[in-house]
């Protein structure tokens, strides 16, 4: 089986690729499991060396729109059975640069779906959407709990672009060009590495940086709600979207992945319980009105009924999420956080 991952050199793309390599086979939509014989990782940068060392992995490096315009068969070869579409410009970038978001999130998604359509092989496409499709405003307030059938009301360019991507994926699926699977990702924490341009980046940075022994910013109040998921459970949800039968999946609308409902204050308390007061004291609570304005529109509680039907459950608690991050990233943990 040949699998394509756009954004394959990014954090989730790399984690997904490693999970698939470890899994060794995949059963698409309930069909008999097939051995994974090839992984094409499409991104602007090359994936890590450990992935490139695997003979099954091919790096396709370049701008996704340019690659699809010049040689779409490099991105979606005729034997590709599944495409995980993770590539995207993130929320903060899209607010700062409207054209970047439209190019990276809307134009690239449309071009990718057209390349899949041109193959005439009906590949499965798993589109990574976001809880940013939900936005709260005084004119159109969100319900206290977001359910699978809650009307999306995006209030950012990123949210709009993701919602359009969901609808395009659903319609290409309705027309029989692809098997479309839309999954809405929650805020993923804790992400390793450096901060990115996402407005939600601090949800990882406020934990990751203190664990490394340096200050980490949390620019929103302690009572700010957040619906989050660990990296491991996020990847599990993405894979499950590909494996579910059509009957298990249900309607073409997006599935909300499960989320742990917490607050930034509770996250900080978990960090103190796991790593101590000195580490938690490194959180910098200086407010940032720009970030607060974006984050305040996002939902904090998700009832992921369809995900539960697929056997997907949220993380039990944030303490465990932090411990998992420490276990997986020992090189990024300062001595003060080990005691």
Specify the range with the lowest mean pLDDT, choosing from 159-163, 185-189, 190-194: 190-194
Within this chain, do residues 148 and 51 fall inside the same structural domain, yes or no?
yes
Contact 8, 21 (CB under 8 A): no
191, part of any domain: no
Within this chain, do residues 169 and 286 fall inside the same structural domain, yes or no?
no
Average pLDDT of the chain is 95
Split at pLDDT 50, 70, 90, the class of 199 is confident
195, part of any domain: no
Domain of residue 239, residue span: 2-186+229-256
206, part of any domain: yes
Within this chain, do residues 170 and 208 fall inside the same structural domain, yes or no?
no
Residue-wise pLDDT for 251-260, tens only, equals 999 999 999 9
How many residues are recorded in the chain?
A: 339
Q: In this model, does residue 335 exceed pLDDT 80?
A: no
Residue-wise pLDDT for 4-31, tens only, equals 999 999 999 999 999 999 999 999 999 9
pLDDT of residue 92: 83
Percent of the chain with pLDDT over 90: 89
Q: pTM of the prediction?
A: 0.94
Q: In this model, does residue 339 exceed pLDDT 60?
A: no
Q: In this model, does residue 113 exceed pLDDT 70?
A: yes
Other beta carbons within 10 Å of 62? 17
Q: From residue 111, how far is each of 66, 168, 204, 235, 261 by CA, in Å?
A: 10, 11, 32, 24, 35
Dihedral over Cα of 240, 113, 42, 183: its sign: negative
Which one of 84, 134, 158, 318 is the catalytic residue? 158
For residues 174-181, average pLDDT: 98
Examine residue 267 and say whether the peptide bond preceding it is cis (omega within 30 degrees of 0): no
Within this chain, do residues 233 and 277 fall inside the same structural domain, yes or no?
no
Whether 158 sits among the annotated catalytic residues: the reply is yes
For residues 263-267, average pLDDT: 98
Q: In this model, does residue 152 exceed pLDDT 80?
A: yes
Within this chain, do residues 42 and 99 fall inside the same structural domain, yes or no?
yes
Dihedral over Cα of 229, 302, 128, 7: its sign: negative
Within this chain, do residues 236 and 326 fall inside the same structural domain, yes or no?
no
């Amino acid at each position: 089986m040949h699998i394509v991952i756009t954004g394959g050199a990014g954090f989730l793309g790399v984690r997904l690729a490693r999970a698939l390599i470890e899994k060794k086979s995949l059963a698409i939509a309930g069909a008999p499991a097939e051995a994974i014989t090839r992984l094409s990782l499409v991104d602007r940068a090359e994936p890590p060396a450990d992935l490139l060392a695997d003979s099954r992995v091919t790096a396709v490096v370049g701008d996704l729109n340019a690659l699809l315009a010049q040689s779409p068969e490099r991105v979606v070869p005729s034997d590709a059975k599944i495409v995980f579409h993770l590539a995207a410009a993130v929320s903060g970038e899209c607010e700062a640069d409207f054209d970047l978001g439209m190019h990276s999130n809307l134009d690239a998604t449309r071009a990718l779906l057209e390349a899949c359509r041109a193959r005439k092989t009906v590949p499965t496409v798993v589109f990574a959407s976001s809880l940013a499709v939900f936005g709260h405003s005084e004119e159109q307030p969100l319900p206290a709990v977001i359910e699978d059938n809650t009307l999306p009301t995006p209030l950012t360019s990123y949210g709009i672009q993701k919602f359009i991507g969901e609808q395009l994926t659903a319609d290409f699926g309705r027309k029989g060009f692809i098997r479309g699977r839309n999954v809405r990702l929650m805020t993923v924490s804790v992400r390793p590495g450096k901060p990115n341009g996402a407005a939600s980046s601090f949800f990882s940075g406020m934990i990751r940086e203190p664990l490394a022994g340096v200050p980490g910013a949390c620019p929103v109040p302690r009572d700010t709600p957040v619906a989050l998921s660990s990296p491991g459970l996020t990847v599990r949800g993405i894979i499950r979207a590909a494996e579910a039968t059509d009957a298990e999946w249900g309607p073409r609308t997006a599935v909300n992945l499960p989320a742990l409902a917490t607050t930034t204050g509770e996250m900080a308390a978990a960090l103190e319980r796991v790593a101590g007061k000195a580490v938690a004291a490194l959180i910098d609570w200086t407010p940032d009105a720009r970030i607060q304005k974006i984050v305040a529109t996002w939902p904090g509680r998700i009832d992921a009924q369809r995900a539960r039907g697929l056997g997907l459950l949220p993380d039990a608690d944030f303490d465990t999420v932090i411990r998992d991050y420490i276990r997986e990233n020992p090189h990024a943990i300062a001595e003060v956080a080990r005691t």
